[in-house]
């Protein structure tokens, strides 16, 4: 079966909202060489330029002008540029030091800076598929004014990479041992509280499972301290609220109590790397109270490779305005195989596969899961709120969601990869030239039987004259893992990739050239849905 496609070009358009930061109302202006900038001539020069002269740079015949800060920058530049005395007029741009942590394990933290390094599976990453931490840290590194409740298995509060960023209950720290000095019902809750035994909460949130400690390191490990790892937010107060036991399990009553405690103790952000159970109106109401208190509730989407639109995962699926549901991305820029998805219920993705972070007893370890993705998002919320403290919780959520980068190959979630610098600057991302969603498109209709038969072998061909590369969009794809697969070949007969498992709503890797051969094969055991290819993208 052959498809020869003659296409009408449709070029996508994109908008860009960000204006490069500069000193309000200030402009650096080079005066033409036939006019000498001298102290004696400054008053008349200022009058001719319609501006106050703040300073001069005589080596280049430059004056630094000050105009009304409410004047639109572009309008001021136009006026100055049209002045007969002016050769060059520019905003007084703001520059900052480029901050790269000196933490020795930072180069292994691909989620912050993916330069193509291999992960623990020895799989090379795709450069740039990260949260943009280096650019974000040039804008802000967080604030100790922001409290993040890590509702989890507790925290190793003696870990040298976490100690400096832990929340401290000063009333209890300075009070009498064995006494509830702040009257919150929990004795000696200096670093947080433990609700594993819902009937008898204690003031010791020490981690005996390691999960909460790992999450906390990604969120807010001390950075630029010459040891261990870096955190998304270098400056933050982490409030450990333990309700998961030494096996990583907890119960509804404990979760509700933990959330209420965090709210009462002033949490701004709630980091929740857990889920399961059924729908609970009581838990939903507790989360609604965090919203009413102005908090942001970040929750993991789950690790079952399932569709949260069809099979809800709680608390991520609760329809409360402050909830951000987070899926996991790998270092190749694709949704992790284990990650739950949902075009209407999973909001964003973040690095969650082979993530290096803090571990018990002052150690470090690598873990994977949507649990590991959550603290990247919680940390970005810290950065965003520290730079824009006036924002409401719903604005934090919408800013994070509206400034994402595209996942490669498409995504089965609402948005894409969280991208900190764009969130901080409230800017629309440039289109990724390697993302097929920004290419030209053509409708296709290529399918297997549903379900496909045993020992099937089918071949299809797609030719798009003039194309430099082609990617195929699988609107639905489900085969037996490893055994039943699709292979894509270029015109020279080189196999480019093979695809199996579940890949609904995703593009294939691009195939170079104007031709793709599709080969589907199955063994004699399990029969599954097969696939539907509904369009091609090309450039």
Instruction: Give me the long-range contacts of 58-61 (CB less than 8 A, separation at least 24).
Output: 60/30, 61/30, 61/31, 61/32, 61/33, 61/35, 61/36, 61/37
**Cα(33)–Cα(111) distance, integer angstroms:** 50
CB–CB of 93/78 below 8 Å? no
Reply yes or no on whether 359 is catalytic: no
- With CA atoms as reference, report the closest residue to 149 among 234, 224, 243: 243
536's tokens = 């091609």
The SS3 of residue 262 is: helix
> Of the listed 103, 152, 156, 188, which one is catalytic?
152
Q: What angle do CA 116, 122, 126 make, to 5 degrees?
A: 25
Reply yes or no on whether 159 is catalytic: no
99's tokens = 């901050």
Strand residues in 60-101 grouped as ranges (E):
62-66, 86-93
> Of the listed 159, 211, 214, 268, which one is catalytic?
211
**Cα(444)–Cα(438) distance, integer angstroms:** 17
The set of residues, in sequence order, having a beta carbon less than 8 Å from that of 44 and lying 6+ positions away, is: none
Which element (helix H / strand E) includes 53? strand 52-57
The DSSP bridge pattern shows strands 457-463 and 515-521 to be antiparallel
**Cα(335)–Cα(413) distance, integer angstroms:** 9
396's tokens = 């934090």
> Of the listed 300, 371, 378, 522, which one is catalytic?
371
Reply yes or no on whether 260 is catalytic: no
* Cβ neighbour number for residue 12 with a 10 Å cutoff: 10
* Cβ neighbour number for residue 325 with a 10 Å cutoff: 28
| Catalytic residue positions, numbered | 152, 211, 371
């Amino acid at each position: 079966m052959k498809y020869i496609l003659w296409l009408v070009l449709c070029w996508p358009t994109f908008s860009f909202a960000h204006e490069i930061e500069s000193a309000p109302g200030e402009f650096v202006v080079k005066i033409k060489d036939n006019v000498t900038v001298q102290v004696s001539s400054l008053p008349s020069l200022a009058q001719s330029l319609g501006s106050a002269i703040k300073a001069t740079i005589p080596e280049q015949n430059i004056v630094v002008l000050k105009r009304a800060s409410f004047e639109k920058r572009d309008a001021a530049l136009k006026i100055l540029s049209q002045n007969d005395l002016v050769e060059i007029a520019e905003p007084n741009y703001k520059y900052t030091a480029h901050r790269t942590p000196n933490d020795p394990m930072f180069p292994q933290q691909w989620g912050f800076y993916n330069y193509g390094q291999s992960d623990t599976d020895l799989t090379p990453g795709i450069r740039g598929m990260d949260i943009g931490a280096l650019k974000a840290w040039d804008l802000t590194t967080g604030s100790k004014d922001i409290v993040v409740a890590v509702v989890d298995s507790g925290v190793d509060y003696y870990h040298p990479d976490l100690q400096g960023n832990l929340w401290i209950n000063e009333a209890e720290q300075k009070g009498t041992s064995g006494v509830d000095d702040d009257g919150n019902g929990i004795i000696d809750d200096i670093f947080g509280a433990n609700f594993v035994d819902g009937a008898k909460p204690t003031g010791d949130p020490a981690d005996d499972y390691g999960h909460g400690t790992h999450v906390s390191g990604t969120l807010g490990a001390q950075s630029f301290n010459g040891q261990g790892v870096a955190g998304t937010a270098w400056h933050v107060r982490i409030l450990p609220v333990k309700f998961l036991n030494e096996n990583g399990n907890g119960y509804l009553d404990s979760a509700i109590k933990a959330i209420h405690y965090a709210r009462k103790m002033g949490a701004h952000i709630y980091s929740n790397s857990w889920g399961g159970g059924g729908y609970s109106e009581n838990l939903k109401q507790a989360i609604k109270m965090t919203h009413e208190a102005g908090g942001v509730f970040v929750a993991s989407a789950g690790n079952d490779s399932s569709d949260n639109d069809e099979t809800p995962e709680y608390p991520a699926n609760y329809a409360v305005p402050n909830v951000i549901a987070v899926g996991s991305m790998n270092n190749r820029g694709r949704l992790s195989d284990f990650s739950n998805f949902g075009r209407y219920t999973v909001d964003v993705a973040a690095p969650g596969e082979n993530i290096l972070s803090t571990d018990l007893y002052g150690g470090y370890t690598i873990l994977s899961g949507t649990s590991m993705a959550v603290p990247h998002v919680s940390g970005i919320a810290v950065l965003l709120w520290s730079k824009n403290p006036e924002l409401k919780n719903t604005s934090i959520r919408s800013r994070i969601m509206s400034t994402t980068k595209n996942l490669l190959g498409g995504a089965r979630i609402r948005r894409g990869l969280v991208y900190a610098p764009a969130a901080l600057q409230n800017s629309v991302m440039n289109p990724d030239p390697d993302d097929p969603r920004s290419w030209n498109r053509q409708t296709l209709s290529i399918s297997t039987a549903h379900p496909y038969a045993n020992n099937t072998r089918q071949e299809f061909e797609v030719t798009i004259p003039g194309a430099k590369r082609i990617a195929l969009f699988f609107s639905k794809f489900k085969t037996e893992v490893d055994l039943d697969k699709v292979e894509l070949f270029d015109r020279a007969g080189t196999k480019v990739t093979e695809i199996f498992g579940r890949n609904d709503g995703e593009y294939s890797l691009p195939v170079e050239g104007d031709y793709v051969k599709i080969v589907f094969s199955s063994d004699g055991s399990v029969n599954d849905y097969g696939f539907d290819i509904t369009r091609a993208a090309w450039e």
